[in-house]
Structure 1
Amino acid sequence: MKKQIWIGFGVLAGMILAKILYPIVGNLTANMSANKVSTTQVQEYINQSKPIQLKYDSYKSGYSSYDNLMYTKDVMRSYYTFYDTTYKKYFAIQMFDTYALDGLLDDLKNSPLTCFVNEQQLNNPIYGGLKNPVPILRFDVEIKDSWKSTDVNAIRDYKKFTLNYQSAVSNNLTYFTPKEEFRKMFSEQK
């Protein structure tokens, strides 16, 4: 009987210890697999971005997510990939925590978009292919009253998207920029 009580205490202690250690180990693995991005680096990325005019006649939408080993950190990214004939590259509008741009992008087909693109990535030959498009973390359009009323959600998400530019840059650099590429982008910083 005493042996069963000690086994019960051992199981209970193990469950409590696991409950305490799980988030700590999860955060540790999240920090090891993600880039450590400073506000200075986010601002530098934004400062190195320039507005360019892009057009598209079709796009492909999708999503991806960042999950660390212990599944304690989950970041969802939706994207809209298109090809621009002027730059002869693929670009991807990337959004975090918003998902409904399809209607708005349908209305904007063949119209010039003012997209903010990081010059390092635009000029880097590893970006611009279908598998690794140049990221767009902000674009500007003038919202028109004539757009379909069904696009209200898309317009709301577009406004949220433009307000969260710094956050989108931070998420992209932290969770979706490969470590080697991140080191090259910020090589002068330790």
Structure 2
Amino acid sequence: MNKQISQAIGWALGVLIIFPLLIYGINYFFKNRSNDSRCAIHDYINNSSEYKIFIPHNTEVKTFSYRTSFSAPQSNYYTLRFRDAKKGKWISFIFFNYPMDRRLAFDAVMDEKEALLTINKDDLNNPNYGTKENPIPVFKVRENLPDSVSMKKGEENGWNVDITDKQFKYNVEQYLTYIMPKEEFQERFEKK
């Protein structure tokens, strides 16, 4: 009987205390590899401007996966990449946790149209960005429509693909925290 009680106590300690501490420790070390973007989000967004750009027919659509921590489920982000003929640079729309039906609608609705893209000025002027391998990231896109039309349209009619300010902030946060290389993040935001 005494042996069973000591085994039960050992099992309880392992399951209730040691295992959760182990998971917490692993998450802590994996989380430390990501960037601390809380302060940088505001700077990144404020240093962004809206540009009119024509979206061509030949866009490359891809889905990528990333993890926010060791025990978290895998998350996805969606990219739509194309070459801007005017600027001669590659641009990539990046949307995190964007619903599949909206992804498909976005690609179809924005095909061969002029759009308003919110682009960070540092990314736009950085010679390391704009290549096919490292396109300029864009997290907010709006259709270029007259105000009279854009005020009347909405999600209820199924064709509004504009990225909201809330989704824009979320996209920037996820990108700066989990996707931007740590060295680049430190150089751009932590040395200021």
User: Smaller-chain TM-score range?
Assistant: 0.7 to 0.9
RMSD of the alignment, in Å? 2.8
Task: Give the alignment of 1:1-190 within 5 angstroms.
Answer: 2-3=2-3, 5-39=5-39, 41-55=40-54, 56-68=56-68, 70-72=70-72, 74-99=74-99, 100-141=102-143, 142=145, 152=158, 155=160, 158-159=161-162, 161-189=164-192
- 1:74-128, CA deviations, whole angstroms, 9 ceiling, x for partnerless residues? 4431111111111222111111221323223323222211111111111222222
- 1:6-61, CA deviations, whole angstroms, 9 ceiling, x for partnerless residues? 3443233212224422452244134211100124x212111211222222222122
Length, aligned pairs only: 182
Aligned partners of 1:94 and 1:136 also within 8 Å: yes
TM-score calculated relative to the size of structure 2: 0.79
| Larger mean Cα displacement after TM superposition, 88-97 or 62-71 | 62-71
Structure 2, unaligned runs of 5 or more: none
TM-score calculated relative to the size of structure 1: 0.79
**Structure-2 separation of matches of 1:120 and 1:73:** 32
**Structure-2 separation of matches of 1:69 and 1:110:** 38
**Structure-2 separation of matches of 1:74 and 1:25:** 19
**Structure-1 separation of matches of 2:106 and 2:68:** 32
Runs of 4+ in structure 1 deviating by more than 6 angstroms, as ranges, are none
